[in-house]
Structure 1
Amino acid sequence: MKFTVRVPASTANLGPGFDTFGLSLALHDVVEFETTESGVDIEVLDAGAGDMRRVPRTGRHLIMRALRAACGRLGTSPPGLRVRCHNAIPHSRGLGSSAAAIVTGIAAAYTLAGRELDADALHLAADFEGHADNVAASLYGGFVVAWESEGGFRAERLTPHHAIRPVVAVPSTQSSTHETRGLIPEQVPLADAVFTGGRTALAVHAMTSRPDLLLDATGDRLHQDYRRPAYPATMRLVDELRSRGIAAAVSGAGPTVLALPYGEQSGAGIVPPDVDVDGYEILAPAIDLDGVQIYLA
């Protein structure tokens, strides 16, 4: 059996929506699977190819761990597999590379079981990730609002406004989600909570109907400033872009910077020429509206 899984990158939080908002980006990992008699043979190309510690070539690879967990949930046993990973999503940059690997493994398990992806796939993916924003964006595409209730993780996919054209500034440096989360206090001032709650509600409206409100809607007092010591250059760029009227935020746990220009603002040229982006790669991926895709050979 041969099949291919294509999964998009994602950016999370979008400023105020900590662990809540996700946006799917048309920057894809493409992973080819072929069943074999036994064992696991993994080849990694492009992003992560030289990092054997973070991207192992054994059953410890995150794709394989997610695949085995999903097979267990589905009541199947994983076969031997040959896996070839064409990775376009930068690792440890706040663009959902781990979420994409988790979604890839779960999609592969469902494919091997002859099943369509269902709501349980989100629960399983979010259990792995610890939150649902990135994995929901990679699963469903578009703009997602995710939350956790007594019944588990849930997410709603919304269609983002057609004029929004994301731009990401990807630095050469990496960050650790675990480390940057540790900088966020367990309690914040009431005024900051009220500010961020209002901006979170506004962001749903701005992302879907009123992109002209995105500058205000991407304001945050919950997490970004607390994480400033982890990536001061990232926050300087966010501050500079916002001072020029461009909606900008840290992408996920960083250190990538997300900008959300719209209409005539759109394009990689949104970054003014006098803003220092030395050390950053500027990309302008479209919003991926499809989410994970599976192609049978």
Structure 2
Amino acid sequence: MSFADHTIRVRVPGTSANCGPGFDAIGLACTVYNDLELTLKKEAGVKITISGEGAANIPCDGRNIVWRSVQYLLRKAGLLDQYPGAVIHMENNVPLSRGLGSSATAIVAGLKAANVLIGNRFNRRELLQFATDIEGHPDNVAPAIFGGFTVSTVTRGDVECFSFLPKFRMKLIVAVPDFPLSTRKARAVLPAQVPMADAVNNISRASMLVAALCKGNEKFLRNVFDDALHQPYRAKLIPGMYDVFAAARKAGALGANLSGAGPCLIAYALERRHCEEAVGEAMKAAFRQHDVEAKILIMDLDTRGAHIVK
């Protein structure tokens, strides 16, 4: 059966990794999306068009991460020689290099779309493994695939992921600063070793975070977003970071943390308290005190993950 010249459209949510203390382990999917249209071709060559976020900065040749992910999946299926070309159109709403999983979104979109076009030969667990192999860690690609909150582990290269939805409805308030920050630069400031007390701090809080979300016990969320493994070292890259956290909490948020490697900062609020607008304005004002302009995204938790758009 030939899958050439069939077009599929997939939608993938942006993500926020770490969620405070869950460094490289916990992630969530949020309601900002990138769409991808993919057509596989039997003729060599790739045509890539991009609209929206990052359109002027994303390569439209063989370096494009969507195309590389498509090729990765076709290689795994033994079909790379059969479909050496493609037509790709990307519609991006996830901010680029801001800590909302734009690269993970692209990887998952390429894998998901190619998999659908070849008859869904691989299940979601296999797609997670492929995406982690490409990205290097699962904390962003897992929620992009499964939606909701995810907890991931890697054992001798094999990825396992537990996905769940919290017992209460949350609002996610993201302050997007007007400057990018590459993951490579954000990782370069991290130490090779950390004190035992800092490791214990994160283990206890990450465990409490997952337990409180699963049980729906909001009172235990007040102190769980504090981190000692990456935020203290990355703070110098994001002016006013801790002041923005404090402003968000004062305005009614449960807590706030660095989104992924940054520079986006994300705050969490209970939907029933209707404080998300006030939290966003407080975060924006706190950033402005440090000469940083930021736009505010108020989102829900995405519950579907990557899916086909009819």
- TM class by shorter-chain length? over 0.9
Report Cα offsets for 1:19-67 as digits up to 9, x if no partner. Answer: 011100010001112234522111010101111xxx1111210001111
Are residues 244 and 190 of structure 1, via their aligned partners in 2, closer, same or farther at CA, if it must alter by over 3 Å?
A: farther
Match of 2:244 in 1: 237
Distance 1:42 1:30 in 2: 13
Distance 1:170 1:273 in 2: 13
Look up the equivalent residue of 1:276 and give its one-letter code.
Answer: A
Any conservation in 2 of the 1:7–1:28 contact (CA below 8 Å)? yes
Distance 1:178 1:75 in 2: 32
Q: Shift of residue 227 of structure 1? A: 1.1
Distance 2:281 2:176 in 1: 16
Q: Is the counterpart of residue 222 in structure 1 residue 229 in structure 2?
A: yes
Q: Secondary structure at the match of 1:18?
A: coil
Q: Is the counterpart of residue 65 in structure 1 residue 73 in structure 2?
A: no
Match of 1:288 in 2: 302
Q: Secondary structure at the match of 1:15?
A: coil
Match of 1:249 in 2: 257
Distance 1:212 1:11 in 2: 22
Distance 2:196 2:252 in 1: 27
Match of 1:29 in 2: 34
Any conservation in 1 of the 2:240–2:286 contact (CA below 8 Å)? no
Match of 2:286 in 1: 276
Give the paired residue count. Answer: 293
**2:8 pairs with one of 3, 9, 13:** 3
Look up the equivalent residue of 2:62 and give its one-letter code.
Answer: G
| Gapped regions of structure 1 (runs ≥ 5) | none
- Indicate the percent of aligned positions where both proteins have the same amino acid: 34
**2:156 pairs with one of 139, 144, 150:** 150
Match of 1:56 in 2: 59
**1:205 pairs with one of 211, 227, 234:** 211
Q: Shift of residue 163 of structure 1? A: 2.2
Distance 1:112 1:271 in 2: 41
Normalization by structure 2: what TM-score? 0.89
**2:276 pairs with one of 264, 267, 284:** 267
Match of 1:170 in 2: 176
Distance 1:112 1:79 in 2: 14
Are residues 70 and 232 of structure 1, via their aligned partners in 2, closer, same or farther at CA, if it must alter by over 3 Å?
A: same
Distance 2:85 2:257 in 1: 42
Q: Secondary structure at the match of 1:284?
A: strand
Match of 2:123 in 1: 117
Distance 1:235 1:74 in 2: 47
Q: Shift of residue 268 of structure 1? A: 3.0
Normalization by structure 1: what TM-score? 0.93
Q: Shift of residue 222 of structure 1? A: 1.2
> RMSD between aligned alpha carbons?
1.8
Distance 2:54 2:280 in 1: 28
Are residues 171 and 70 of structure 1, via their aligned partners in 2, closer, same or farther at CA, if it must alter by over 3 Å?
A: same
Any conservation in 1 of the 2:189–2:233 contact (CA below 8 Å)? yes
Are residues 272 and 60 of structure 1, via their aligned partners in 2, closer, same or farther at CA, if it must alter by over 3 Å?
A: closer
**2:109 pairs with one of 104, 108, 112:** 104
Any conservation in 2 of the 1:103–1:125 contact (CA below 8 Å)? yes
Are residues 160 and 79 of structure 1, via their aligned partners in 2, closer, same or farther at CA, if it must alter by over 3 Å?
A: farther
Report Cα offsets for 1:176-197 as digits up to 9, x if no partner. Answer: 1111112111221211211111
Tell me whether 205-214 or 153-162 shows the greater mean CA deviation: 205-214
Any conservation in 1 of the 2:248–2:282 contact (CA below 8 Å)? no
Q: Shift of residue 14 of structure 1? A: 0.7
Tell me whether 97-106 or 190-199 shows the greater mean CA deviation: 190-199
Q: Secondary structure at the match of 2:140?
A: helix
